[in-house]
Structures are given as C-alpha cells and as structure tokens.
Amino acid sequence: MPNMQVSRFWRHFKEKYRLVGSKCKKCGKIHFPPRQVCNECGSREMEEIQLSGRGKVISWTIVRNPPSGFEYYKPYPLALIELEEGPIVLAQLTDVDPEEITFGMEVEMVTRKIREFNEDGIILYGYKFRPPIK
Amino acid sequence: MKKAVIIGVGMTPAGEHWKTPLRDLAVEALLNAMDDANIDKVDSLYVGNMISGSFVEQENLGALIADWAGLGHIPAVKIEAACASGGAAVQEGAKAVMSGLEDVVAVIGVEKMTDAWPSDATRYLAYAADAEWELFHGASFVALNALVMRYYMHTYGYTEEDLALFAVNAHINGAKNPYAMFKKPIKVETVLKSPYIADPVKLFDASPVCDGAAAVIVTTPEKAKELGIPKEKWVEVAGMGRAIDTINLANRKDLLTLKAAKVAAERAYKMSGVDVKDIDLFEIHDAFTIMAALSLEAIGAAERGKGAELAKEGQIAVDGDYPIQTMGGLKARGHPVGATGVYQTVEAALQLRGEAPNQVPDAEIALTQNIGGTGSNITVTILRRV
C-alpha cells in the first residue's frame, strides 16, 4: 500500500489510540466508532465521549487464513468486546493464550502495533484488548 | 405498474475457469439465456458484480459485456451490493421492466475470483465489511462469520455437528447439478474433520471461491406473448424486497438476527401476497453454514434460534417442508460472489419450470435470498410459476 495513504490512518488517531466515541445529545446512545448521525433517533447533535476501554468478550475466533497484509501475524485471536458504556467493538485480543479465552472474560484496551507494511512503509497502531493486569 | 416475467435463463458451470476470462464467462451465460428465450437483442443490460476492479482490474462491466456480446448501443450498468450484487441486479432489471421504461432486459451476474492469490481474495472480499473498523484489525469475512457462529452456538446450545448438516444437505443436492463446482456428497464427519479457518468455522462450513456467470432475460407478459415465448417458460418476479443493516457487525442491535433479511422478506411477501408457508423451495445465502440457519429464521421459516433445528429435523431436504439449496447452494454449487444472486434466480426458475435436476415436485413458488456483507445488504425475491 503506497505511503500516500498515511493520512487515511492519521485521521483516526483519536478513535484508534484513545477510544473516543460519540454520544447522542438527544437520546443518549453511545457509538463506537463515532457517528455524525445517531442510528437510534436520527439526531445530528453528537458530542465526543471518552470510553473507559473496559469490557467483556462476547464472542471470539482465531484467524488462521488472514487477509493479505496480516499473514505474518497469523494465527491471531479476534473478538467482539462489549464495552462498559454499551457499544460493542471488534478488536484483536493480545497477551492471552487462545485456549483461555472465555465468554464474558473481562478485558481492557491497550495500544499495540496492528501491522507493518514494507520495509520503508508506515506502521499502523491501534487498540487491542487484553485480560486486565491485576 | 407492469408485471415482470423471466423468459430465459443461462449459466456457466461454477468452478475454476483457468482458461476463461471474465468477459467470456459473462458472454457465455448471457448468450445461453438469450438462446433459451430465443431472442437476439435486448433493450438494456444490468450486471451484478461485486469486485472485478480488485480481482481482475476491470470495471465498467456494463460496457465490456454488452460490447463483447454484440448488443449494440444499449444502456448497460454494473450493480454492486457486495455478495448481494446478483440479487440486486435481478431486482433492478425487474424494476426497469415493471416501470414500463424498458421492454426486454438482460440481467447477468459474473465474478472471476481465481486470478487472485488466495490471501488477496480474502482481502478483497473483506472490502464488503467496514474497512476502517473491521479489515483494519485483520478481520476476514470468515472471521466475522465465525464470531456470529460461536455466539449462535453458545446462545442456543447448538454444536458444530448441528450446523454441519447445512453443508451436508448442500452437497447432496449439488451432486446432481451439472453446473455445481462440487458434485460429491459429503458426511457430517467430512465437515468436522476439515481444518479450522477461523474457529469455529471449518473449511467445509464455508462456500468456495470460484468463477462463474449466470443470466436471466426479463420482460413483461405482454411482450413475452408478442415474442411467442411459450407460457411454460414464464416465471413471474412476484415480489421483491431489499434492505440494509449496519456495515459494521459490532454495531448491530442484535448479532443473531439478520434484520435486513427480515425487512426485505416482509416487503417481498407483501408485494407478492405470498406467505412463507406457500413457498415450495428456498435458495438462501449459505456462504457459511451459520448464515443458512440465520437466513431461515429471518425469512420466517423458523423462529428465532430454531433455524438449525430445521436441518436437524431433515426439513431442509428436497422432500422436506422447507427445501433449501436444491442445486447445491453457495456451498456446493460455488459462490462466485457477484454472480450468486443470479445463479439462485436461474436455479429457482428451473425448479418452477419443472426442469431442475433435483426437482421439487410441482414447485409453484420459490424464494431467493442473497446476502451482502455480514448481513448489511440483503435481497429477497419471490418467483412464481405462471
């Protein structure tokens, strides 16, 4: 992927590094990723909300045949995580033995490398989730 | 509003067509359909295709195919709705006829997938998911379906064995379809012993990447009469519905309901005046075994959480109450993504004409359901014998 795409990833720093979502000022629904229009009530009045990054696993899989660009990282666990605030987020799990993943397992957000491109390409970072450090 | 009838069908076998480029597959299916209808020209062309730009660096398929088929200066466009592109193209073609603006319309679905390296194919297919919030994290389509399958089994207490029954049924039927990619019956053990590609989805839970093209010719009953097409060949497009859901699986209100299919089916039932109990056969979108279960629930053939029950009770077989995938479905016939919805239409039409290899006795009404994305864009069409 050419480096001209850097802006494509930079523009999502807030969401991908800090897990910033949106909250509908009218009905209160919290969205992640943030939306311009609430898909619950149709309101366009949204405000930013900092999500806690804490949640629980509601389903997971092990990706063994990944899309090109992710071959180096296979196999990796991918999960749906229900955040404390309500939204469900798709992300990779990290720092966990795939055999130990369970329904309802508590996890917290961490910032990790998602993938690299070629030698002189950009490195993508973003959120992953791991069992909380006690 | 006018009525729309299908008067000709054609297809190529689904499979790995190493020697045949996209345009030749498309033209072959199209000419087969035109020959079946015994016509040599059409007023316009609608091409269902998901992602030729990525797979073979070719867009503008309307012009390409109409040109190569020698159709002259007709209007021709590509219709894209991910894996539901074919189903959407059939509906757009039927709408054009119903509107009265076009008399004789050709609809073709085509996809050429085997020219791409497998992991690139996996990437291109994932373009139908959410690029920024799903593919960015390394999600493949299989992985997204796996998340739903695990959640479904956990919620309702089904096993991998239960869901494997959908693949077994598809292969039994595909074995008799000369156009199917896989013509071998399989057993539950075949599915269970196949490797995980994204747990709990195994290789045999998933439909294969392949090439293929299918086509139908649509016109009004008046024009069909004028053209001298015998009535035994007419299949009415009696009802149509289409709806979307969130592009991002994680944003669904209910992960285990294909809401878009539910809404689309309600629209199609209303338009046709048909109830799910009146339907003789169902060609549904079994890209993965879990999608077969969820589809049966969404179109009203089973209650919520009972879709896999129909497979366990044997009701999905050709002699059951809810026959599905009578010619192999996506699983055994093959899933050339943008062509699939048109294959389903051709197969349903053959059933209603009484010409199918796995003939459902005296089939009068058929339903096709075509899913794009992880349920984000779904078409439901009701076809009826005239």
> Is the Cβ of A79 closer than 8 Å to some Cβ of chain B?
yes
Strands B281-283 and B365-372: parallel
Other C-beta atoms within 10 Å of B70: how many? 10
* pTM summary value: 0.98
Mean pLDDT score across all residues of chain B: 98
Is pLDDT at B346 greater than 80 in this prediction?
Answer: yes
Interface contact A78, partner B, CB < 8 A = yes
Locus of tokens 């956990």:
B154
Bridge partner residues of B379 (DSSP): B242, B370
pLDDT score recorded for residue B241: 98
B230-270: pLDDT as tens digits: 999 999 999 999 999 999 999 999 999 999 999 999 999 99
B180 contacts B14 by C-beta, under 8 angstroms = yes
Alpha carbons B322 and B110: distance in angstroms, whole number: 28
- The predicted-structure confidence for B45-71, as pLDDT tens digits, reads as follows 999 999 999 999 999 999 999 999 999
A51-87 pLDDT tens trace = 999 999 999 999 999 999 999 999 999 999 999 999 9
Per annotation, catalytic residue among B17, B83, B210, B285: B83
**Residue-wise pLDDT tens digits, A9-24:** 889 999 999 999 999 9
Interface contacts (A, B; CB < 8 Å): 105
In 3-state terms, what secondary structure has residue B154? helix
Block residue for tokens 């009802």: B239
Residues B259 and B239: their CA atoms lie apart, in Å, by 18
Task: Give A18→chain B minimum CA distance, Å.
Answer: 14
pLDDT confidence band for A3 (50 / 70 / 90): low
**DSSP H helical ranges for chain B:** 22-37, 52-56, 61-68, 85-99, 118-126, 141-156, 160-174, 188-193, 221-226, 259-272, 289-298, 307-312, 329-333, 340-352
pLDDT tens figures, A99-115 = 999 999 999 999 999 99
Range B144-166 average pLDDT: 98
- ipTM rounded to 2 decimals: 0.97
For residue B325, pLDDT over 70 is answered with yes
A95 — alpha (psi -120 to 50), left (phi > 0) or beta? left
DSSP codes, A28-50:
--EESS--SS-TTT----EEEEE
Question: Distance (Å) from the C-alpha of residue A129 to the closest C-alpha of chain B?
Answer: 12
Distances (CA, A) of A75 to A62, A127, B138, B139: 6, 18, 11, 12
Output the pLDDT for position A4. Answer: 61
Q: Does the pLDDT value for residue A120 go beyond 90?
A: no
- Find the residue in B nearest to A88 (Cα): B250
Phi, psi of B31 (to 5 degrees): -65, -35
Closest by Cα among B107, B60, B368, B99 to B241: B368
Domains of chain B: 5-116+209-235 (3.40.47.10), 139-208+239-385 (3.40.47.10)
pLDDT tens digit sequence for B268-315: 999 999 999 999 999 999 999 999 999 999 999 999 999 999 999 999
CB-CB contact of B371 with B244 (8 Å) = no
Q: Encoding tokens for residue B362? A: 């005296």
